[in-house]
């Protein structure tokens, strides 16, 4: 199997009576889990920008490329899949990272923020009975140039929602592309 070729949902899993869609439904049904919500947020930003031509790379130093600009996508939610009645404090990871080189199989010597833009995605719904990650009205997006993060929060590993709101304004899914285009 070539990892660059997208799988069809009807692709047979050889030696079983299952197809890829069975696996996807089994393993990736709950978008409220932290890891899947993050991947879903990357997908949402990619769809808004029309930049899903490249497959996702799990450990890349950034998440998307749009008009030759590297974008890092972060997500958070008040309600988690394991919701216990208390809302999560909203914060996003902004720590510097070493870049992994897939050709040399080595990390870069120094850590930095590798993307030019960060998009912070907040699943804002606070009603357990209403939360639906597939409803774009339940998401808020915050777009920040990396140089702004470097200026205001050079060494911080996380940023709170209140700190984020001091340096940028929220936008909706419908405005995301225009907001990013305006920054560029």
**Residues 131-184 pLDDT 10s:** 999 999 999 999 999 999 999 999 999 999 999 999 999 999 999 999 999 998
Residue 24 lies in a domain: no
Residue 9 lies in a domain: no
Could you give the residue ranges of the DSSP H alpha helices within the chain? 20-27, 34-49, 146-152, 161-167, 176-183
Residue 96 lies in a domain: yes
Assess whether pLDDT exceeds 80 at residue 41.
yes
Assess whether pLDDT exceeds 60 at residue 2.
no
Q: In 10 A of CB 53, how many CB atoms?
A: 7
Residue 150 lies in a domain: yes
Per-residue model confidence (pLDDT) at position 106? 87
Residue 15 lies in a domain: no
Q: What is the pLDDT of residues 58-83, one digit of tens each?
A: 777 789 999 999 999 999 999 988 87
H/E stretch holding 26 reads: helix 20-27
Number of domains in the chain: 1
99 Cβ partners below 8 Å, 6+ apart? 61, 107, 108, 114
Per-residue model confidence (pLDDT) at position 135? 97
Residue 22 lies in a domain: no
Residue 137 lies in a domain: yes
Q: 41 burial class (0-12, 13-18, 19+ CB within 10 angstroms)?
A: buried
Residue 81: give the domain boundaries: 30-183
Question: pLDDT band for position 7 (50/70/90)?
Answer: confident
- CATH code for position 136: 3.40.210
Residue 10 lies in a domain: no
Phi, psi of 147 (to 5 degrees): -60, -30
Query: Rounded to whole angstroms, how far apart are CA atoms 99 and 34?
Result: 23
H/E stretch holding 101 reads: strand 100-101
């Amino acid at each position: 199997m070539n990892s660059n070729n997208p799988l069809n949902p009807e692709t047979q899993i050889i030696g079983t009576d299952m197809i890829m869609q069975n696996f996807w439904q089994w393993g990736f049904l709950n978008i409220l889990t932290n890891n899947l919500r993050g991947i879903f947020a990357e997908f949402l930003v990619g769809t808004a920008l029309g930049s899903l031509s490249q497959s996702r790379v799990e450990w890349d130093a950034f998440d998307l490329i749009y008009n030759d600009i590297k974008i890092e996508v972060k997500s958070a939610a008040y309600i988690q899949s394991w919701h216990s009645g208390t809302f999560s404090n909203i914060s996003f990871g902004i720590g510097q990272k070493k870049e992994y080189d897939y050709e040399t199989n080595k990390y870069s010597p120094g850590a930095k923020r590798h993307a030019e833009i960060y998009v912070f995605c907040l699943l804002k719904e606070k009603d357990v009975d209403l939360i639906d990650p597939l409803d774009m009205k339940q998401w808020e997006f915050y777009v920040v140039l990396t140089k702004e993060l470097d200026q205001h929060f050079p060494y911080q590993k996380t940023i709170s929602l209140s700190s984020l709101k001091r340096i940028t304004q929220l936008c909706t899914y419908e405005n995301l592309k225009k907001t990013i285009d305006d920054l560029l």
